[in-house]
């Protein structure tokens, strides 16, 4: 199966200048030589803690940042080289829904204007056709037709996220980047939005790049899961396999740390020592070695490459 979007050797470094006090200076390796593929109609879930590079990855896919090295191929075309009509087409094909629907919707625009703005920018449609599309989109995301005349502040968080989804759908994209789409919502609303996203994927054949820290939600939504740590993918493979039998010690610790769904659910306790080191100065060798419960002598010298283990790719010297 050919991938819709493919990242090869994708790298993003941010130069950190010297501060006012003359301290610092260096390079943050936010994303460091990662590779993944997203197939049409499928979901790639990305998990990891703060500073692992998942949001930078999303920005690179959205071409809000340019990679330092490596490529993103969308339908076999290098995204970095796109300009003019090619770039416009890419922008139509790849849309985004962000975490905070209070910040991602303009408070001074009515819902009608919010959803139709991309249509007016990208497609030559007459007013009647735009109105019909907006009505159709509101229906698809389960909002009443009268919503179009209201402002974002008149909606709850879950409804606002539906507006953001309608806007993302307006140009019939192929891929939607979902960056923590339910984290800001109330618990009783999250299931509504996750169900809506699943339904839309099935009906419209959408591909998702789903980024979240809620591991159970990622497991529920994803076909493939990539686990990131300090700018690297440490494990990537079939979601069910990664969740049921994580191979990398970090993945194991991450899933062990996830909260249980029932008081009788007891996981093997792997409480990691210490905290995620600064990406300004990642540890030598395997970046996880200072916290790894299974650390070996050569882990601090040689950085492991991704290699096949247990039906997926794992970057660990154990395999």
Do 295 and 289 touch, CB atoms closer than 8 A? yes
What residues does 5 pair with on adjacent strands? 38, 74
Q: How far apart are CA 172 and CA 166, in angstroms?
A: 10
- What sign does the dihedral 297-299-301-306 (CA atoms) show? positive
Q: Where does this chain touch other proteins (CB under 8 A) — which range of 101-109, 119-127, 128-136, 185-193?
A: 185-193
Position 294 contacts other proteins (CB under 8 A) = no
Write out the binding residues for other proteins, residues 202-221 only, by CB under 8 A. 213-217, 219-220
Interaction pattern, residues 151-170, with other proteins; x per rule: CB under 8 A: -----x-xx-----------
- For residues 133 and 287, which CB has a smaller minimum distance to other proteins in the complex? 287
For the beta carbon of residue 277, count every other beta carbon within 10 angstroms: 15
State the minimum distance, in angstroms, from the CB of residue 288 to other proteins: 11
- For residues 133 and 190, which CB has a smaller minimum distance to other proteins in the complex? 190
Residue of the chain from 89, 109, 276, 280 that contacts other proteins (CB under 8 A): 276
- For residues 48 and 70, which CB has a smaller minimum distance to other proteins in the complex? 48
274 Cβ neighbours under 8 A, 6+ residues apart: 290, 291
- What sign does the dihedral 103-109-111-113 (CA atoms) show? negative
- For residues 42 and 133, which CB has a smaller minimum distance to other proteins in the complex? 42
In the numeric block, which tokens belong to residue 9?
């050797």
In the numeric block, which tokens belong to residue 31?
């994303």
Position 191 contacts other proteins (CB under 8 A) = yes
Q: Which residues bind other proteins (CB under 8 A)?
A: 49-50, 156, 158-159, 186-192, 194-195, 198, 213-217, 219-220, 240, 243-244, 253-265, 269, 271-272, 275-276
């Amino acid at each position: 199966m050919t991938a819709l979007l493919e990242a090869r050797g994708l790298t993003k470094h941010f130069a950190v200048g010297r501060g006012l006090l003359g301290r610092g200076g260096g390079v943050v390796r936010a994303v460091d030589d990662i590779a993944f593929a997203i197939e049409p109609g499928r979901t790639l879930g990305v998990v990891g803690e703060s500073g692992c590079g998942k949001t930078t990855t999303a920005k690179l896919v959205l071409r809000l940042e340019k990679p330092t090295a490596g490529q993103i191929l969308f339908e076999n075309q290098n995204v970095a080289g796109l300009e003019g009509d090619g770039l416009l087409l890419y922008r139509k094909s790849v849309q985004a829904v962000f975490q905070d629907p209070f910040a991602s919707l303009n408070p001074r625009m009515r819902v009608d204007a919010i959803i139709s703005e991309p249509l007016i920018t990208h497609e030559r449609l007459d007013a009647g056709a735009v109105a019909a599309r907006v009505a159709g989109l509101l229906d698809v995301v389960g909002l009443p037709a009268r919503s179009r005349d209201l402002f974002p502040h008149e909606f709850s968080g879950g409804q606002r996220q539906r507006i953001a989804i309608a806007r993302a759908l307006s140009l019939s994209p192929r891929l939607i980047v979902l960056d923590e789409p339910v984290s800001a919502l109330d618990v009783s609303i999250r299931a509504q939005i996750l169900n809506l996203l699943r339904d839309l994927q099935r009906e419209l054949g959408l591909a998702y790049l789903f980024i979240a820290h809620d591991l159970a939600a990622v497991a529920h939504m994803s076909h493939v899961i990539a686990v990131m740590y300090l700018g690297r993918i440490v494990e990537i493979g079939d979601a069910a396999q990664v969740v049921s039998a994580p191979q990398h010690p970090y993945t194991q610790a991450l899933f062990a740390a996830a909260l249980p769904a029932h008081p009788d659910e007891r996981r093997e306790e792997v409480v990691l020592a210490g905290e995620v080191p600064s990406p300004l100065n990642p540890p030598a060798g395997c970046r996880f070695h200072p916290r790894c419960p299974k650390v070996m002598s050569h882990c601090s010298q040689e950085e492991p490459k991704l290699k096949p283990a247990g039906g997926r790719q794992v970057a660990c010297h154990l395999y």
